[in-house]
Amino acid sequence: MQQDRLEKLELLAAEQERTIEELSEQLARQWALIERMQKKLDLLSERFFALEERTAPDIPVTKPPHW
């Protein structure tokens, strides 16, 4: 009886250790993906702002009518 109980606890601990390892690996992969996506977003943002600067018309600086 006690031996069965000990074996069940050992199996449970082994399963939990495996699950934690799998979750850790998945988290590491997702973190790497997030970092790659952030770099792409930064590059795309820079390109967008560069294009926007080149295509935006120059707005003349004028005094408001009430001046």
Give the pLDDT score at 56.
72
Which tokens is 60 given?
């003349």
Q: What confidence category does residue 67 fall into, taking pLDDT thresholds of 50, 70 and 90? A: low
Cα within 13 Å of Cα(14), Cβ side = 6
d(CA 3, CA 60): 87
pTM (two decimals): 0.64
- State the residue for tokens 């005094």: 63
pLDDT in tens, 8-64: 999 999 999 999 999 999 999 999 999 999 999 999 999 999 998 888 777 777 777
Domain segments of the chain: what residues? 1-53
List the Cα angle 46/48/50 in 5-degree steps.
70
d(CA 35, CA 12): 34
